[in-house]
């Protein structure tokens, strides 16, 4: 058979490239929300309100009371790689804020209708801007795309509507809005436990009652109590650990041996970013194995600070799994602390039963 002639190679259109990139970062509504929460926390907010319609596919709205965005920055806000958080590649190693690649808002603008309303404390009014495909767009044909002055409090409100409206295959992949909403509540719950000093609320559009509601002044135990219940909050132990050689510090709130659940709940933050680590989960579960009845699983909230140059910061934002140097050594130290804390509680109980 004759070989087929090679097909000519052509560049994909910029629009297709942007949609692919966006779809890699934001696979489900909860991923958009994670970026928006991180931005709000980065902006120094102490109050965060989330409203959701249809599991976030119809509407995802987040309102904060942070420092706001300068009106002059609104035209480039949703361009790819525009960020106020990173200027040189070297800054990656010292970056303290959560997101740092300037891709989140750009991505969202390529796959949803995005509206930003924001006011800095210096500004006498708020400004509202709408975006499509990385650029300012006019709300109605014939109108100007320039940001419009409106009344509003200092802070920022981001509205994401009709997520994946122009990616029908992705849109069709969502079977149930309630499944997406459950993921959203889980994420907001995690952030609400971690972000001391910040109030959180999350509810469905039109509902009076909130799925999550945590006041700003709540302690960590209170935050866990509100979200996971008293049965757990009454059985927590707290430890701190640090190690100079491996460049890390951590604080944890973990369930004691009196508590056990059908599956492990792991709230893991590394440098204040919510992440996953299969390695940490597995080791912690093993450590609990000797303390819990068969089939029982713990609750673990772990906040790890690792010297930024030791964390693999250059991972793609889709990678929710993180890796860091000396993972095994750090995990071993944490698990020793877990074991110590659990056995301390055990001894005090056996003392009490003896007396």
* Interface residues toward ligand ADP, by CB under 6 A: 35, 39-40, 43, 64, 66-69, 77, 83-85, 99-106, 156
C-beta nearest to Mg ion: residue: 99
d(CA 180, CA 108): 17
CB of 47 to ligand ADP, least distance (A): 12
For the bound state, the minimum distance from the C-beta of residue 277 to ligand ADP, rounded and expressed in Å, comes to 22
User: Nearer Cβ to ligand ADP, position 67 or 297?
Assistant: 67
Q: Does 39 bind Mg ion (CB under 5 A)?
A: yes
Cβ at position 225, least distance to ligand ADP in Å: 28
Count of CB atoms situated within 10 Å of the CB of 253? 21
Ordered alpha helix ranges (H), 112-210 = 168-172, 177-194
In whole angstroms, the minimum distance from the beta carbon of 123 to ligand ADP comes to 13
Q: Give whichever of 103 and 337 is closer to ligand ADP, judged by the CB atom.
A: 103
- Given the complex with Mg ion, which of 41 and 232 has the nearer CB atom? 41
> Residue 247 Cβ, how far from ligand ADP at the closest point, in Å?
24
Q: Which is nearer to ligand ADP, 279 or 313 (CB)?
A: 313
Closer residue to ligand ADP, CB minimum distance, 156 or 201:
156
Toward Mg ion, which CB reaches closer, 108 or 300? Answer: 108
Quick one: what does residue 201 bind among ligand ADP, Mg ion, none, with the CB cut-off 5 to 8 Å set by partner type?
Answer: none
Residue 252 contact, options ligand ADP, Mg ion, none, Cβ 5-8 Å cut-off depending on partner type: none
188 binds, among Mg ion, ligand ADP, none (CB under 5 to 8 A by kind): none
Q: Give me the least distance between CB of 154 and ligand ADP, in Å please.
A: 10
Length of the chain measured in residues: 355
| Smallest distance from ligand ADP to CB 106, Å | 6
Most distant pair of Cα atoms in the chain: their distance? 91
The beta-strand segments (E) located in 188-334 are 199-204, 212-214, 236-243, 248-255, 265-270, 273-274, 299-306
- Smallest gap from Cβ 105 to ligand ADP, in A, equals 4
Site residue total, Mg ion (CB under 5 A): 3
DSSP 211-239: SEEE-TT--HHHHHHHHH-HHHHTTEEEE
Footprint of Mg ion on 84-143 (CB under 5 A) = 99, 104
Q: Is residue 252 a contact partner of residue 334, using CB atoms and an 8 Å limit?
A: yes
Instruction: Considering the complex, state which of residue 28 and residue 40 has its C-beta at the smaller distance from ligand ADP.
Output: 40
CB 124 within 8 Å of CB 152: no
**Residue 105 binding result from Mg ion, ligand ADP, none, given CB thresholds of 5 to 8 Å by partner type:** ligand ADP
Distance CA 119, CA 45 (A): 13
Instruction: Compute CA distances 286 → 24, 227, 260, 281, whole Å.
Output: 33, 25, 14, 9
Of 35 and 337, nearer to ligand ADP (C-beta) is 35
Q: Which does 225 bind (CB under 5 to 8 A by kind): ligand ADP, Mg ion, none?
A: none
Residue 69 binding: pick among Mg ion, ligand ADP, none (C-beta 5-8 Å cut-off by kind):
ligand ADP
Of 95, 42, 88, 38, give the one whose Cα is nearest residue 308.
Answer: 95
On the CB side of 259, how many CA atoms lie within 13 Å of its CA?
A: 22
Q: Can you list the pairs that 213-222 forms with residues at least 24 positions away whose Cβ atoms lie under 8 Å?
A: 216/46, 216/47, 220/193, 220/196, 220/253, 220/301, 221/253
Assess 256 for contact with Mg ion (CB under 5 A): no
- For Mg ion, give the closer residue by CB, 18 or 256: 18
Residue 49 near residue 153 (C-beta atoms within 8 A):
no
Angle ∠(95,88,79) on CA atoms, nearest 5:
90
From the list ligand ADP, Mg ion, none, pick the one residue 129 interacts with, judged by a Cβ distance below 5 to 8 Å according to partner type: none
| Contact residues: Mg ion, CB under 5 A | 39, 99, 104
């Amino acid at each position: 058979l004759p070989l087929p002639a090679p097909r000519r190679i052509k560049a994909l259109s910029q629009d297709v490239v942007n949609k692919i990139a966006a779809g890699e970062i934001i696979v489900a509504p909860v991923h958009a929300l994670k970026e928006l929460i991180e931005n709000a926390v980065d902006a120094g907010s102490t109050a965060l309100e989330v409203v959701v319609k249809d599991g976030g596919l119809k509407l995802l709205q987040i309102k904060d009371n942070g420092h706001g965005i300068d009106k002059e920055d609104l035209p480039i806000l949703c361009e790819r790689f525009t960020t106020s958080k990173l200027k040189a590649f070297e800054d990656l190693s010292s970056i303290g804020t959560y997101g740092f690649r300037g891709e989140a808002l750009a991505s969202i603008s390529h796959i949803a209708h995005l509206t930003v309303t924001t006011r800095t404390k210096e500004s006498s009014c708020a400004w509202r801007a709408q975006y499509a495909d990385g650029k300012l767009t006019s709300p109605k044909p014939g109108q100007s795309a320039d940001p419009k002055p409106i009344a509003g409090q200092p802070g920022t409100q981001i509205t994401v509507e009709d997520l994946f409206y122009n990616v029908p295959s992705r849109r069709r992949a969502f079977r149930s809005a309630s499944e997406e909403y459950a993921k959203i509540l889980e994420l907001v719950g995690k952030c609400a436990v971690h972000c001391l000093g910040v109030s959180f609320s999350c509810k469905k559009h039109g509902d009076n009652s909130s799925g999550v509601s945590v006041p700003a002044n709540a302690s960590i135990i209170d935050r866990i109590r509100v979200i996971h219940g008293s049965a757990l909050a009454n059985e927590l132990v707290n430890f701190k650990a640090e190690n100079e050689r491996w460049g890390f510090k951590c604080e944890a709130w973990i369930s004691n041996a009196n508590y056990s659940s059908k599956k492990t709940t792991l709230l893991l933050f590394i440098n204040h970013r919510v992440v996953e680590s299969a390695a940490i989960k597995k080791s912690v579960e093993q450590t609990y194995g000797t303390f819990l009845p068969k089939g029982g699983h713990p609750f673990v909230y772990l906040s790890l600070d690792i010297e930024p140059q030791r964390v693999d910061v250059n991972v793609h934002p889709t990678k929710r799994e993180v890796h860091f140097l000396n993972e095994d050594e750090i995990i071993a130290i944490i698990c020793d602390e877990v074991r110590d804390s659990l056995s301390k509680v055990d001894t005090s109980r056996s003392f009490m039963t003896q007396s």
